[in-house]
Amino acid sequence: MKKVVLVLDSVVGKVFLDSVLEKYFSNNLYIVIVKDSAMIPEKFPSSFSFHHFDPTSEYHLTQVFDEHRSLDLSDVFVIMEDRDQARAVFAITRKICKEARIVTLSSVSDESLQRDDHAIFLDDAKIIAGQFISRLPNVPIIPRGFGLGQGEIMEVGVPFGSVFAYRHIGSIQQKNYKIVGIYRNNAFLLSTFSLVIQPQDVVLVAGDPKTLRNIYKQIKSDIGQFPSPFGRDIYVYVDMLAQDSSAILRDITQAIYFHSLIRSTKLFVIVLNPADFATIYEIKELCKQDSSIALKFDYSNASFIDRLEKDRTRKIGLIIVGTELFAKRSHRKALYRTATPVLKTAALCLTDCKQCLVITNEEMNAGENISSVIFDIAIQTKTDIQVYDFEPDGVHQDAIIKDYEALGRSFGKKVLITKTTSKNPIFYLQDLTEPVLHFLPFEECIAKTRLFALFSTKAERLSLLLHKHPQMLIPIGSH
């Protein structure tokens, strides 16, 4: 996890902060220093910390940097209206952090600062002029000023551990976007089917802006970082009015177990409508074993939906609920709106799962795949992966299967491929005696009524009728 420091004032700094809060990348920790307390929002994700003081104070700046010394300081952004104050902050920061990259405006620079190899000075006049030039007719455009300026083209660096590293471009599904080429060793390589993406390459991609934002997250997310890039924390919800004591303790126990396996920062246990003192005592006993578990009893009579709406501003990485809460359609719709992975507990215990199961479908071939998330979780939980391809007509989803096989080879993960024309996956799951973690794309159809699910041909809708195996629902796009 990298640390990014933002030293901000002025209108530009406020606009920049608002953009970062809206589109931040969860693998980073943001330390924000402001002169005006009015710039601090009422609600912000747990990956942000705010400090209010005059940043030209070397004493206070040093204290903030020392407080986060254990993390890797990546970048410092200095956006201040007063040029002399910005230059003072630059000098103090460079004294404290000799190797950090400092990004600021060109007006701060002088001859001595220009020799700083770890500094970037942005010319605000050129940036504004570039936006106008990009809209002139019959003028060649560069990627940063392309088209509508909404992100139709993007350059993305490939880090070590990325799910895109060491893969042939032809083995990557590309729907609503294309990998145009790769920048490597100061040369541009045009995309070919057999070209292998290497760590530290810069990938040039073009396509639908919403899709590219999701692709950016996929490329930048190191394997073994889940629940990033969705968020850093897990929230488990239990309700004493809707669940009995055994179901509540089941959900909390499995949430604690999953939290111990993956790289989540904190586990928040939210108890709605607490009333049973014996169960409350047992919950407290379960949660006191780990300092990274935060136990919250909600006595406000808030509904599950209201509480979820309140918490979702914290950028949740994973939501865990039991079958009892997930059964209500209004709850499923609220969960779908969060665009957050959801783990639904089941009769068979998550702690006994030795295998992850994904059932292929045509939508996965035509749109976004969830393979990168499945591999991330499987690697962290040390479970195998089974891809179940049921096609009565014998026309199997070979593109999806090749994607899983390529990822399996890249990460040394065992992948079992099952192709069948006869055994319906729903019956297959019902017959399994050993528990599996069943992965599903969180499609809109899951949020619909269960009444007609029995008559659906989609495995996702039919899965609403299953309560035997734990299920992990992965959002596949922006809602």
pLDDT of 128 reads 76
Domain range 350-475, its CATH number among 3.40.718.10, 1.10.357.10, 3.40.50.620, 3.20.20.100? 3.40.50.620
Residue ranges of domains in the chain: 2-122, 148-220, 234-344, 350-475
What average pLDDT does this structure show over 174-184?
89
Given a cut of 60, whether residue 70 has pLDDT beyond it is no
Please name the residue that has the structure tokens 């290497």.
198
Domains 2-122 and 234-344 share a fold: yes
User: What is the percent of the chain with per-residue pLDDT over 90, rounded to a whole number?
Assistant: 41
Residue with the larger pLDDT of the pair 224 and 324: 324
Whether the model clears a pTM of 0.75, i.e. scores above it, the answer is no
Give the C-alpha separation, 349 to 438, whole Å.
12
3-state secondary structure of 352: helix
Given a cut of 60, whether residue 387 has pLDDT beyond it is yes
Given a cut of 80, whether residue 238 has pLDDT beyond it is yes
Averaged pLDDT score across all residues of the chain: 84
Question: What's the fold here for domain 234-344?
Answer: Rossmann fold (3.40.50)
Give the C-alpha separation, 369 to 399, whole Å.
11
**The tokens of 55 are what?**
């940043």
Pair 182, 152: CB distance under 8 Å: no
pLDDT of 1 reads 64
3-state secondary structure of 265: coil
What does the pLDDT look like over 332-383, one tens digit per residue?
A: 999 999 989 999 999 889 999 999 999 887 665 544 557 888 999 999 999 9
Q: Which residues of 77-92 are buried (b: 16+ CB within 10 A; e: fewer)?
A: bbbbeeeebbbbbbeb
- Per CATH, is 148-220 categorized as 3.30.1360.40? no
- Per CATH, is 2-122 categorized as 3.40.50.720? yes
- Specify the DSSP class assigned to residue 147: T
